[in-house]
């Protein structure tokens, strides 16, 4: 069964450093997402991406964050200068459909745990 | 997206049915009801969705009230592997770009006792 994969599973970095979190969505999917979950808190939407551009972003997704689909398979989240409060589990998700469908099931990856020291 | 209300936690015994409630009194006519779950240390996982009629799939059943102001996710025979946080999410398919994101609440933590 196709699945979303994410690397690395755990990333430890120093405050102020740049990190890139990588995701390989399901191959025929068109919509890509990043979410994050701070330990013990809700899963929060960060950004959605379609047709090589951002569809929507949350208030969390400020100028320190960027996303890219550098080739036909990878989808990356970059944090330019990490802060302590960026420590969280970051989930990538992908989906196949359009808004006209009755559902738009999102398939989530296993997550990357980011620890900022 | 319209708001949902779920109990913080529920407990069940293995092999018994589990009914997880969700209230969504401000649901609109174009809101679909989605359920996702998050097993420990994993990403969320789609469970089921519906609009007006009850729905069944291999994982669960979804019972939707006639006025659509509440719904119930039914796990027919809970197993230890069903222990997870269950999220009830409304998604308006007509809300344009914002339609595509999922807005998670705190969900219901289901504990399954052996």
Q: Does B105 touch chain A (CB under 8 A)?
A: yes
Mutation choice for B interface testing from A34, A103, A109, A113 by most B CBs within 10 A: A103
Q: Are strands A112-116 and A88-95 parallel, antiparallel or unpaired?
A: antiparallel
Q: Is the Cβ–Cβ distance between A112 and A7 less than 8 Å?
A: yes
Q: Do B105 and A100 touch (CB under 8 A)?
A: no
Q: How much is the pLDDT for A12?
A: 98
Q: Note whether A114 contacts B: Cβ–Cβ < 8 A.
A: no
Calculate the alpha carbon distances from B36 to A56, A76, B103 in Å.
21, 24, 11
Give the integer Cα–Cα distance in Å for A35 and B87.
Answer: 15
Grouping H, G, I as helix, E, B as strand and the rest as coil, residue A105 is coil
Least confident of A11-25, A101-115, B11-25, B45-59: A101-115
- The predicted structure's pLDDT at residue B101: 85
Q: Is the CB of residue A25 less than 8 Å away from at least one CB of chain B?
A: no
Q: CB distance from B100 to chain A under 8 Å? A: yes
Q: Closest approach of chain B CAs to the CA of A111, in angstroms?
A: 6
Give the pLDDT score at B55. Answer: 94
As a residue count, chain A comes to 117
Mean pLDDT of A42-55: 93
Separation in Å, CA A53 to CA A30, A61, A64, B96: 11, 14, 17, 15
Q: Which chain A residue has the Cα nearest residue B44?
A: A108
A&B contacts, CB < 8 Å: 69
CA contacts within 13 A on the Cβ side of B69? 3
Residue A43 pLDDT greater than 90, yes or no:
yes
Q: What is the mean pLDDT of residues B65-94?
A: 93
| DSSP label at residue A106 | P
Asked if B114 has any chain A CB less than 8 Å from its own CB, the reply is no
């Amino acid at each position: 069964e196709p699945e979303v994969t994410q690397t690395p599973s755990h990333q430890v970095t120093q405050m102020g450093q740049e990190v890139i979190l990588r995701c390989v969505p399901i191959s025929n999917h068109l919509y890509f997402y990043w979410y994050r979950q701070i330990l013990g808190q809700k899963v929060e939407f960060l950004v959605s991406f379609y047709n090589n551009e951002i569809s929507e972003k949350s208030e969390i997704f400020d100028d320190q964050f960027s996303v890219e689909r550098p080739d036909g398979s990878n989808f990356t989240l970059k944090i330019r200068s990490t802060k302590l409060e960026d420590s969280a589990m970051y989930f990538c998700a992908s989906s196949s459909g359009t808004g006209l469908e009755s559902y738009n099931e999102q398939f989530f990856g296993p997550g990357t745990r980011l620890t900022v020291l | 997206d319209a708001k949902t209300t779920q109990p913080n936690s529920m407990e069940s015994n293995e092999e018994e049915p589990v009914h997880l409630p969700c209230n969504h009194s401000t649901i609109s006519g174009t809101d679909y009801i989605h359920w996702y779950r998050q097993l420990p240390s994993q990403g969320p996982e789609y469970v089921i969705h519906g609009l007006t009629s009850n729905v069944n799939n291999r994982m669960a059943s979804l019972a939707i009230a006639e006025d659509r102001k509440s719904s119930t996710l039914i796990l027919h025979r809970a197993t230890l592997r069903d222990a997870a946080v269950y999220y009830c999410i409304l998604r308006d398919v007509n809300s344009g770009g914002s339609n595509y994101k999922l807005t998670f609440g705190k969900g219901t933590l289901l504990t399954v006792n052996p």
